Chain A
Amino acid sequence: MKPRSKRLLLLAGAVSLLVGAVALVLTAFQENLVFFHTPSEVAEGKAPQGRPFRVGGMVEAGSIRREADGLTVSFVITDMVKTVPVTYRGTLPDLFQEGKGAVVQGSLGPDGRFTATEVLAKHDENYMPVEAQYALDSAQMKKAAESLQQ
């Protein structure tokens, strides 16, 4: 092989490697995006059915209930306007408490009950999950906007 064609081959190899890798990354990216929705958005039916997504807000006071097996927990996530009932089986994070912020990931069943595969709480006393805070704020703003319109 001439040096020139060798170099072309090397270049072609490197470029196809790069293209393949980028294609792989982008496909995986498309498939694994998890969207966040506030309880209000879930109530409006904006959340996807049958695809995992995240919901965040406050854990409603007095809503945590344990099943007889001790492992299955149900609670309600609220943005102070709408609520989403959640079921989760597993160990809860240390800072998961009623009246505190939390974000859950999982999917919505046809009965409107959210089955969580993952529960995230805050990391320390001062800290609120950004998404949970966002859910509360946007619900508040919407409420304020609606009361202005009336």
Chain B
Amino acid sequence: MIAELGHFALILALVLSLVQAVVPMVGAHRNRLALMGVGRPAARGQFVMLLLAYACLTWAFIQSDFSVRLVAVNSHTDTPLIYKITGVWGNHEGSLLLWALALSGWTLAVTLFSRHLPEAFMARVVGVLGWVSAGFISFTLFTSNPFERLLPAAAQGRDLNPLLQDPGMIIHPPLLYMGYVGFSVAFAFAIAALLTGRLDAAWARWSRPWTTVAWVFLTAGITVGSGWAYYELGWGGWWFWDPVENASFMPWLLGTALIHSLAVTEKRGAFRSWTVLLAIGAFSLSLLGTFLVRSGVITSVHAFATDPARGLFILALLVLVIGVSLVLFAWRAPRLSGGGSFGLVSRESTLLGNNVLLAVACAAVLLGTLYPLFMDALNMGKISVGPPYFESTFVPLMTPVLVLMMIGPFVRWKGDDGGRVGRVLWASGLASVLVGGGVALAIDHVTWRTVLGLSLAAWIVLASLQLLARRLGERPGTPAGHRLRGIPAAWWGMWLAHLGVGVFTIGVTLVGSLEQDLDVKMREGQSAQLAGYTFTFGGAARLPGPNYDADRALVTVTRGDRLVASLTPEKRVYRAQGMPMTEAAIDIGPLRDVYVSLGDQIEPGAWIVSLHYRPFISWIWAGCLLMGLGGVLAALDRRYRKLAARDAASPASAAAQAG
């Protein structure tokens, strides 16, 4: 009964999304306020319906209602409650429902927080979001109905994939989806702007906070996913250039370009066509990511479904979105020319350089991810593109990005003197090369990669401090506390995010240079050495968990006479699927992680144990955290709210409302 209620709510949501897609658009076209006004209540109703549908599905999972096929396949009466709830999105159908719910949530937020926007513009934004929503809900209903019944009902469920029974998996998909879906708001703003022909600084200002928030979610989602892969897959790696990771990384790269390009459009009116293209691109890549991950064309833990109809549906949706928006762009873009001109040495040109490089990096990832699929589809042989390709392209592409990122804030808008910028930065540049080389010597790992990475990171950190000092020195005479408070949140956001990139670079460089691994066969009482630590194997014991049986080993880690940690890695077998799983144990520290995972028992009492030493890996997560925090600060800037109030009051927006 509950499942039918959910199914019914989902159908109603589809109807409401179609209303939301069509009526406000017609209203905006014919300039009828009454029709435009339909968008908001339709969007809210749709949100309520989707929430109801989602709650019904969750209820079916909690109740272990195995007459619902999805529950029978992805849950079990012994599954811990939290994994029953998260199991809702640990599968294809449920995660689509979450996608639709997230989109609807974003739409709701737009209708609540953008009351000041001109009605006609708003109607188009809501309309575009309605179309996207209609596409996804019908995809869910017609190819992947989560409420499908299983008759006769199963006596017991097959349990959730053990890899997904993990705290990281509780938050990774929702964060990532909020990011993916969030770019649909930036997309809707861009399309609405193309439709109205209004693509000015005010438009950029409206879409900036939305885009930044979406970017924050995506950053957080990717970070959590990377952390999950690090401790759950048991190899001690944090990024594998797996197609699924790439699928989330591509929109991130374009999204990063987009938030910077939007800044230029707002401040200087330049890059307008480019900004619109990036908004279309970031959203298309989010859709492509969904297609890659959900269609089963790639080999991955995320590939739940291998139903060709589903892949075809998303592909059609993708072609439609890209096709329609590019046609619209080609039709309207000629009107967008103009904007402020800028000199060779100017903040605009540093941002332009970074935008181009980020787009090329994104294209490189796209090539490496899609080329094998094309080759396969055309029957030209099966190939794969491994991490070496991505690593050898990313280092040379990202090096100038980091340099430009660091120089950019020192350069004035419109035009600047190259000599002046050089005089400001040469000292910190020289100092960082010395620091980079010195640290590389000190850790006895002098390779060009290490020296380059450390020098760049040092320069970013030093230049950030320099930038802060200059900013504080801007208003001499006022008290320091006053000056600190005078700096807008958006500036702090930029500063923090850029500093985060520096911290991230330190982490990546040092993990890559100093990490050590050892696989050994161990019996009780035996020990092994790695990176100055002694690992002593204390044997393994059988231990039952709620829905699995584990062999839990005890490994004591000592350094000299000092006990560092007692680690208990596990090898689990999940009962329902008989699926083995490695549960690594990690001693996390600010300067290094010590990581132990348990392999197979090869003889009675003798186990294979994998030991990993990961210096500075926490700095990678810390860097990502700083970037995300920076994004949050930037989106919360008071300016957006103040200017929003002004836009609402100004006659210009009233005129736009009429037009």
Contact = CB atoms under 8 A, between A and B. Distances in A.
Interface of A: 1, 3, 6, 9-10, 13-14, 17-18, 21-22, 24-25, 28-29, 31-36, 54, 66, 69-71, 89-92, 94-95, 105, 120, 123-125, 127, 129-131, 134
Contacts, number: 117
B580 interface: yes
B385 A29 contact: yes
Interface residues of B, number: 52
Given A28-B392, A123-B163, A130 B610 contact: no
B577 A124 contact: yes
Interface in B565-605: 577-582, 597, 599-600, 602-603
B385 A14 contact: no
Nearest to B298: A130
Contacts of A32: 385-386, 388-389, 392
B599 A21 contact: no
B396 A24 contact: yes
B356 A18 contact: yes
Given A71-B519, A123-B163, A130-B299, A34 B386 contact: yes
Given A6-B343, A25-B367, A129 B299 contact: yes
Interface in B611-633: none
B389 A14 contact: no
B344 A6 contact: yes
Candidate in A9, A29, A90 with the most chain B CB atoms within 10 angstroms: A29
Nearest to A71: B519
Contacts of B367: 25, 29
A130 B372 CA distance: 13
11 contacts: A18-B356, A24-B397, A25-B363, A25-B397, A36-B384, A70-B521, A71-B520, A71-B521, A91-B235, A94-B581, A94-B582
A129 B303 CA distance: 11
B232 to A, nearest CB: 11
A124 B451 CA distance: 42
B384 A91 contact: no
Interface string B162-202: 01000000000000000000000000000000000000000
B360 interface: yes
Interface in B528-577: 577
A124 B303 CA distance: 10
Nearest to B520: A71
Interface in B31-83: none
Contact of A35 (B161, B234, B382, B397): B382
Contact of B397 (A14, A21, A92, A123): A21
Contacts of B360: 18, 21-22, 25
Given A21-B360, A25-B393, A125 B578 contact: yes
A25 B235 CA distance: 28
Interface of B: 161, 163, 234-235, 299-301, 303, 341, 343-344, 349, 352-353, 356-357, 360, 363-364, 367-368, 371, 381-386, 388-389, 392-393, 396-397, 400, 519-521, 577-582, 597, 599-600, 602-603, 606, 608, 610
Contacts of B392: 28, 31-32
A91 B608 contact: yes
A64 to B, nearest CB: 10
Contacts of B349: 10
A44 to B, nearest CB: 14
B344 A125 contact: no
B352 A94 contact: no
A14 B393 CA distance: 18
Given A25-B360, A32-B386, A36-B382, 5 more contacts: A21-B356, A32-B388, A70-B602, A91-B234, A125-B578
B599 A95 contact: no
Nearest to A30: B389
B417 to A, nearest CB: 13
Nearest to A134: B382
A94 B521 contact: no
A92 B235 CA distance: 10
Contacts of A92: 599-600
A32 B390 CA distance: 9
A28 B389 contact: yes
Contacts of A124: 161, 163, 301, 577, 579
Contact of B385 (A18, A22, A33): A33
B385 to A, nearest CB: 6
A71 B608 contact: yes
A105 B577 CA distance: 28
Contacts of B163: 123-124
Contacts of B581: 94
Nearest to A6: B344
B593 to A, nearest CB: 18
Contacts of A131: 299, 382
Contacts of B577: 124-125
A36 B396 contact: no
Contacts of B303: 123, 127
B344 A10 contact: yes
